[in-house]
Amino acid sequence: MKKILQIWIGKNLPLVHVKFDKGVKKIFADLVIHPIKRRLARLYVLVLQKFFGLVVIGITGSAGKTTTKEMIVSVLKKVDETVWSKDNIDPIFNIPTTILRCTPKTKYLVLEMGVEYPHEMDFYLWLVRPSIGVVTNIFPTHTLFFGDEKGVFKEKSKLVKNTNVAILNSDDKYLYSLKDKLEANIIWFKKNEDPILQNKNTARAIAEVLGVEKSIINAGLVDYQNPKHRLSLIEHKSGAFIFDDTYNSNPGAFIKTLNYFSKLAGKNNKIAVVGDMLELGKEEVNEHRKIANELNKLNFKKVFGVGKLVKYVTNETFNNPLDLLPHIKPYLKKGNYIFIKGSRSIGLDKLVDKLLL
């Protein structure tokens, strides 16, 4: 029975995505609507690639996927009809829906291929084979399911083992190890201490592979609008600056972003609001302690925490992000830079929204 279910819902799709305890409507969607949609999308994208010249770009990595996707879309929209995956939807459902939004006139299809469980990339590649694969970086994300960074690398690297062109971060030791192991043509980009600049480097590399003129690339990157709750430095009406990166969090990205923020803040007072980093498995305590060490090194004036694991980062902890409001408001004044970051389900985005009212 399990084998039949696996075949029907989609090759290699982890069965965790089929919910039998969420009501009749959800069960019907998981067992009927989504499997049919996946097969339609799979056939449709093959036709578009073979007969209409559709170029498919797949983007994965532990951080920077969405920003890179939005940047390259900002460029490609200036060249020809472009369709791309929208935010806040699980790629398991997002990718088929996005494919079905294409028309025969669509030239570029840009897909964000984030993975949380083993074999999800195999499932995506069953749905569609991108001609260009991008891996931004490898950090310890979802190690509760992947075990460690090597497990993360094993899953994400499947993308570029199945593409004609692989666009990779030359400063990532895992990705650099693919140097002589891929049949794909490899285009390298370098990391940058400024994650926005690094993502621009990545988007530029994709555009150059596609033969986009330099002037169009520059114009597209100038027009790019940063997605909400991602690497956003906001000047508050009080004169304080709030750094909002509350969409998601993992250890590698956290430390990189923290150092970037520290450079932006300069000699001003630095305050942090840290949310739990989730799905880290046996490494969760150790990774939160590393964040504590980094905050100490960077001389933060005050550190607040939201969640259960942040007790390994600070003594000032709260269960609900909105309970923090009266404690953070006194720091809303000129000369203060406030860093806010944590896993999405912790809800720190709600705190940011309230602070900006």
Residues 252 and 141 in one domain: no
The answer, yes or no, to whether residue 356 has pLDDT greater than 90, is: yes
Q: What are phi and psi of 314, to 5 degrees?
A: -155, 160
pLDDT at 1 over 80: no
Which residues, other chains included, contact 345 with Cβ-Cβ below 8 Å and sequence gap of 6+?
A: 278
Give me the pLDDT at residue 2, please: 84
pLDDT over threshold 90, residue 3:
no
Last residue of a domain, one of 223, 257, 280: 223
Domain end position, chosen among 192, 223, 254: 223
Residue 105 has pLDDT above 90, yes or no: yes
Q: CB-based contacts of 305: which residues, under 8 Å, 6+ apart?
A: 273, 274, 275, 311, 313, 314, 316, 317, 318
Question: Across all residues in the chain, what is the average pLDDT?
Answer: 95
Q: What is the pLDDT of residue 278?
A: 94
Q: Which CATH number characterizes residue 256's domain?
A: 3.90.190.20
Residues 252 and 198 placed together within one structural domain of the fold = no
* pLDDT the model gives residue 240: 98
pLDDT of residue 344: 87
Helical ranges in 100-148 per DSSP H: 120-127, 143-146
Mean pLDDT, residues 294-308 taken together = 96
Please give the radius of gyration of the chain, using alpha carbons only, rounded to the nearest integer.
21
Q: Do 39 and 154 lie in a common domain? A: yes
- Predicted confidence (pLDDT) per residue in 206-247, tens digit: 999 999 999 999 999 999 988 889 999 999 999 999 999 999
pTM given for the model: 0.93
d(CA 63, CA 66): 8
pLDDT reported for residue 222: 96
Q: Render pLDDT for 24-46 as a digit per residue (tens, 0 to 9).
A: 999 899 999 999 999 999 999 99
Query: Look-up: residue for tokens 């880290």?
Result: 280
**Domain check: are 60 and 122 in the same one?**
yes
Percent share of the chain, pLDDT over 90: 90
Average pLDDT of the residues in 319-336: 96
Contacts of 123 (CB under 8 A, 6+ apart): 10, 11, 12, 13, 14, 92
Which pairs from 30-35 meet CB under 8 Å and 24+ separation? Answer: 34/9, 34/10, 34/93, 34/96, 35/8, 35/9, 35/10
Q: Do 187 and 240 belong to one domain?
A: no
Identify the CATH number of the domain in which residue 198 sits: 3.40.1190.10
Q: What's the pLDDT at 120?
A: 97
How far is 185 from 164, CA to CA, in rounded Å?
Answer: 6
Are 115 and 194 in a shared domain? yes
**Of the given ranges (19-33, 112-126, 262-276), which has the lowest mean pLDDT?**
19-33
Number of domains composing the chain: 2
Question: Domain check: are 205 and 344 in the same one?
Answer: no
Confidence (pLDDT) at 191: 84
Q: Are residues 259 and 172 in the same domain?
A: no
Q: How do residues 78-94 score in pLDDT, each as one tens digit?
A: 999 999 998 778 999 99
pLDDT exceeds 80 at position 290: yes
Do 204 and 274 lie in one domain? The reply is: no
Range in 13-27, 138-152, 173-187, 338-352 the model is least confident about: 13-27
Shared-domain flag, residues 69 and 116: yes
Check residue 87 and give its pLDDT.
76
Tens-digit pLDDT profile for residues 127-167: 999 999 999 999 999 999 999 999 999 999 999 999 999 99
Query: Do 350 and 323 belong to one domain?
Result: yes
The residue type of 309 is L
Domain boundary at 181, 203, 223, which?
Answer: 223
Residue 245 sits in the same domain as residue 277 = yes
Q: What is residue 192's predicted lDDT score, i.e. its pLDDT?
A: 86
**In terms of residue numbers, what domain contains 31?**
2-223
